[in-house]
Amino acid sequence: MPTAALAKRTERLDARVTKEEKRVIETAASMRGISVTDLMRTSITDAATKIIRENEILTLSEREKQTFFQALMNPPRPNDAAIAAIRRYRREVR
């Protein structure tokens, strides 16, 4: 059984909806044979998970992929500012 089903639900979310929105939600829940609460909980969680996933994935064009790959495979030599930062870091860490 999924962890979410076993977890105790103690938190609460409230939403104001129009009469029409409520009717649609109740109809959909009825068609699925579940409560309005379960429909809203699962639908909102699915939507939120999708939004999070979409924002965590970096999508690059073919040109950007090639540029990124080349930078990984052939990194540029560190400039003076980077070398100075490394020296400061080493002094502070030791």
Q: What does the pLDDT profile of the chain (94 residues) look like in tens digits?
A: 456 567 898 999 999 999 999 999 999 999 999 999 999 999 999 999 999 999 999 889 999 999 999 999 999 999 999 999 999 999 998 8
- 13-18 contact pairs (CB < 8 A, 24+): 13/44, 15/40
Could you state, in order of their start, the residue ranges of all structural domains in the chain?
14-57, 60-94
Give residue 94's pLDDT.
80
Q: Are 8 and 19 in contact (CB under 8 A)?
A: no
DSSP alpha helix (H) spans, 1-94: 3-6, 19-32, 36-56, 62-73, 80-93
Give residue 58's pLDDT.
86
Q: Smallest Cα–Cα separation from 9: which of 52, 49, 38, 44?
A: 38
Q: Are 36 and 29 in contact (CB under 8 A)?
A: yes
